[in-house]
Structure 1
Amino acid sequence: MDLLPPKPAQVVSAASNVAHKLLYGGLADLRPMPRTLIEDGELREVYHYRPAPDVVETGDPILLVTPLAAPAICFDLRRGCSLVEHFVSQGRPTYLVEYGEVSFKNRNLGMEHWVDEVLPAAIKAVSEHAGGRSVHVIGWSLGGIFALLTAADQPALPIGSLSVVGSPIDVRKVPLMAPVRPLLHLNFTEGRGMITRGYQAMGGAPKPIVKWAFQLASVQKIVTKPLAVITNLDDADFLAQLEAVDRFSANMIAYPGRSFGQLYHRMVKGNALAQGSMTFGDRTIRLSAIKAPVLVFGGATDGIAPVNAVRAVVPLLTGSTQVRFEIVPGGHLGMLTGRAARGSTWRVMDEWIDQWSAPARVTAKKAATKKAPTKKAADREAIGVNPKRRYGSAGSRSLGR
């Protein structure tokens, strides 16, 4: 809807949208997809999404891995723009692992709790619930990092493939970190810096701070949001997406203290994963130990996990059967469940899961190992099996994308 002059049809649509929002409270259908709890533990809840009565589940199961601090509705944002709904409507057995509310009593849980207990238990539960089939694991943001570390640490898990969405591996390639990097080494007493003393006192990163940090990464969109709303008053789908994103942002979850400390010291300050490994106690987990095929997504306009920060994982996955890298439209959330994701990210996920699902997985593995690639061919494979296809960001004009 152009500001001047609007077309008569646009005026009617805009008036209808405004009236609907005033009378009914919103345009988005925020009903969650129905699900059943199949397994749980400390900060671990594994759900199976129930298909419609006329839909029969077939094929290998999918496990969606939530990051810390973000609500699980990232995968089920709203009807019509829900990755869960997309998979379930196709008859794909779809599961989710989420962590519930993090409180002060969880402050001593480190990242290894998710790598050693939460994800392995979830993967095993999903495989068993789906009849012993291999599991296609899809992790967003930190959920993708958890999935990579778990697959590297326990290669015997029944993992059919990994899909990593917007997971920053080389933090030094995140422009948002540049202004604060000089502050990371400021120390007070006892050799502890300002940030360290802060999260230790609070037992982690509480919800208000997590919400503020997420919004800070999208400050440009927040500033331009009023104009975007006015210029798109006739677009019900656009307005519905804004409502869904606002609900997502308002439901952030706290970080446990020890996990936050590890993320801060090892990834933000130490940039450990950029070297391809992370150490927990006397154990070092190396990404090169991953055997499963890995699909990596970078968001064209992602400020939290820019393309170069995400792509850094590709050369580290030397043990993987196949590595594929795709650039898709959208920011950090939009690339996963924005309006443009329906024709880009989700489409590639469908292709990838079909490729590595039984019995197709056997054929794909044979094809991947049939001939050792030349150096030039290996270089081409390092950016994906389809390097010519890139989803442009020209259409990503909305806040919801």
Structure 2
Amino acid sequence: MLAALRQRKDSWKRISAQRLRLGFVNGIEWLIRDPSETVIGRTPFEPILSRGKLVVRRYRGAEGSRHRTPVLLIPPLMVKPFIFDLHEGRSLVRHLLDAGYPVYLVDFGEPERADAYVTLDDYVLDWLPAACDAVCADTRSEGLSLLGYCMGGLFALSHTAANEDERVRNIVAIAAPVDTHKMGAFAWIAKHGGAQVEAMAGLLGNVPGAVSSRAFKLLAPVRNVTRYADLFLNLYDQEYVNGFDAMNAWTSQFIDYPAGAFQQFLREFMRHNRLYEGNLRFGERVADLGRVRASLLLFAGETDKVVPEAAVRGALEKVGSEDKTLHVVPGGHMGVFAGSQAPERVWRVTSDWLATRSGG
């Protein structure tokens, strides 16, 4: 028995020495690497629709898919769409392709100063319907599934409700705050200072991406320090380093938020909670979630301080579908979507859930 213990101790010494060597090499490479060279969004695609800044991507591998119903990915505003395709080991796009789905993504582009007038009506009444039309035409399908993260999930629900789009068979919404009055500090700020923030946005124009990035990082100031300690302890693991760089690229490359859309979101969603209350208007149309009949899959993060479970759960109460499910899984606001446990706890659950609702 003593011999076995000594052997195990020697093995751990060899492993520790190997990790130390790998950590040293990876650490040097990480320190001298240009952050802008982080490889993200590498899955090949081609555009099937280009109209101004709006682009609908078809990812290669979508031909010959096992499932007939295509999946359209919808990103939130402020972030670049590469969040769906972070790197080789952390790509929801690649996961869905490998699971046999035709995968598409709507890219709203990067707003410029001239886009300050853009409102949520443009997204919900124009660009999303155009994207759905393009996907259905490209696949010759009569239906599709929508998958959105955060505000992308709200877009999926709002489009389906306001446009009464019966082509939408399934909706997957990850960390989507339908009941915004359950968003803790954000709800308090919107209630007591929302009008002032809205007025300021009208004066300044688009909300700069750099401001959004700093604000997001301030939500977890301690974590923004400890994550570098975690990186140091895991430098031997190249997969961990790749994931760190990809997530860092996400939070460092926020894009501008159109002033009109920001004001409308702050007023209609955050202050008045109109989507949850059933009186949210886009133009002359009302987004009544009770009219949504698509199957609904929701995910909330156990430690999400931005969109807590209660805010996500509002969709269960309001969406009219009889087929609706909520999963509460490990992770914060980013982790629930693309953290280390997301591939197993969120992506696999999603692809399995869609499989019984997508034909093929």
Q: Is the 8 A contact 1:176 1:217 kept in 2?
A: no
Q: Specify the alignment match of 2:351 in structure 1.
A: 350
Q: Cα deviation per residue 1:337-366 (whole Å; 9 max; x = unaligned)?
A: 22211111011111111011126xxxxxxx
Structure 2 matches for 1:2-401, cutoff 5 A? 7-22=16-31, 29-30=39-40, 32-51=42-61, 56-59=64-67, 60-177=69-186, 180-181=189-190, 183-184=192-193, 193-317=195-319, 319-358=320-359
Q: Is the 8 A contact 2:45 2:57 kept in 1?
A: yes
Q: What's the offset of the Cα at 1:238? A: 1.9
Matches of 2:41 and 2:180 in 1, distance apart?
36
Q: What's the offset of the Cα at 1:29? A: 4.8
Once the two structures are overlaid, the 10-residue window that deviates more, 174-183 or 210-219, is: 174-183
Q: Is the 8 A contact 1:184 1:269 kept in 2?
A: no
Q: Is the 8 A contact 1:28 1:78 kept in 2?
A: no
Q: Specify the alignment match of 1:376 in structure 2.
A: none
Question: In structure 2, the residue corresponding to 1:151 is in which secondary structure?
Answer: helix
Distance 1:51-1:110 versus aligned 2 partners, 3 A rule: same
Matches of 2:137 and 2:118 in 1, distance apart?
27
Matches of 1:208 and 1:19 in 2, distance apart?
28
Q: Cα deviation per residue 1:180-212 (whole Å; 9 max; x = unaligned)?
A: 356416xxxxxxx43123101122312222212
| One-letter amino acid of the counterpart of residue 136, structure 1 | S
Q: What's the offset of the Cα at 1:13? A: 2.8
Q: Is the 8 A contact 1:205 1:257 kept in 2?
A: yes
Question: In structure 2, the residue corresponding to 1:344 is in which secondary structure?
Answer: helix
Matches of 1:211 and 1:24 in 2, distance apart?
22
Q: Is the 8 A contact 1:124 1:158 kept in 2?
A: no
Q: What's the offset of the Cα at 1:236? A: 2.2
**Structure 1 unmatched runs, 5+:** 186-192, 360-401
Query: TM-score by structure 1 length?
Result: 0.80
| One-letter amino acid of the counterpart of residue 55, structure 2 | E
Q: Cα deviation per residue 1:36-82 (whole Å; 9 max; x = unaligned)?
A: 01012244210000129xx8423121110011111101101111101
Question: In structure 1, the residue corresponding to 2:222 is in which secondary structure?
Answer: helix
Matches of 1:171 and 1:31 in 2, distance apart?
31
Matches of 1:65 and 1:178 in 2, distance apart?
24
Distance 1:127-1:283 versus aligned 2 partners, 3 A rule: closer
Q: Specify the alignment match of 2:9 in structure 1.
A: none
Matches of 1:117 and 1:179 in 2, distance apart?
32
Matches of 2:166 and 2:219 in 1, distance apart?
35
Q: Cα deviation per residue 1:103-158 (whole Å; 9 max; x = unaligned)?
A: 12112221111111111111111111112242111011111101101111223442
Distance 1:329-1:28 versus aligned 2 partners, 3 A rule: farther
Q: Specify the alignment match of 1:364 in structure 2.
A: none
Identity of aligned residues (%): 27
Question: In structure 1, the residue corresponding to 2:287 is in which secondary structure?
Answer: strand
Aligned length: 345
Question: In structure 1, the residue corresponding to 2:328 is in which secondary structure?
Answer: strand
Q: Cα deviation per residue 1:77-97 (whole Å; 9 max; x = unaligned)?
A: 111101011112333211000
Q: Is the 8 A contact 2:40 2:82 kept in 1?
A: no
**Structure 2 unmatched runs, 5+:** 1-12
| One-letter amino acid of the counterpart of residue 106, structure 1 | D
| One-letter amino acid of the counterpart of residue 126, structure 1 | V
Q: Specify the alignment match of 1:379 in structure 2.
A: none
Matches of 2:190 and 2:77 in 1, distance apart?
22
Q: Cα deviation per residue 1:4-33 (whole Å; 9 max; x = unaligned)?
A: x99323312312322443566589653511
Query: TM-score by structure 2 length?
Result: 0.89
Question: In structure 1, the residue corresponding to 2:85 is in which secondary structure?
Answer: coil
